[in-house]
Amino acid sequence: MKHFSWFVMLIVAAILIIAGRELPRVGDPEAPAATHVSPRYIERGHHETGAPNFVTAVLADYRGYDTLGETSVIFTAGLACALILGIRLGRSGEGGNA
């Protein structure tokens, strides 16, 4: 069984390496994000969203649901850590942590 785990791990690693080679290089001006998405945000961002800057326009308007989801995941993880570690939230005068 131990050898099977190594075999599966090597297959998954090979797939990830092959797939990663197909990604555009970082900073490539010919990448799809740089040729299709970014120009739209730069040209129409302020008019479509009314946001004062591009970062706010992208995070709050274009990717609002995605940002809300990421924030919810981070909040849930923090709450789970607090509960696992036994931190008593909102209780004062009981001598500190559990």
Write down the domain spans for the chain.
14-62, 65-98
94 contacts: CB under 8 Å, gap ≥ 6: 88
Q: What is the separation, in whole angstroms, between the first and last Cα of the chain?
A: 42
Give the residue-averaged pLDDT of 6-21: 94
State the burial class of residue 59 (Cβ atoms within 10 Å of its Cβ: 0-12, 13-18, 19+): middle
What is the mean pLDDT of the segment spanning 8-15? 95
pLDDT tens digit sequence for 20-45:
999 988 888 888 888 888 888 888 88
The residue that leads in pLDDT, 75 or 60, is 75
pLDDT category of residue 88 using cuts at 50, 70 and 90: low
Count Cβ atoms below 10 Å from residue 60 Cβ, excluding itself.
13
C-beta of residue 13 within 8 angstroms of C-beta of residue 21: no
Whether pTM exceeds 0.75: no
The whole-number pLDDT of residue 42 equals 86
CA atoms within 13 A on the CB side of 75: 6
What tens digit of pLDDT does each residue of 57-69 get?
Answer: 888 888 888 889 9
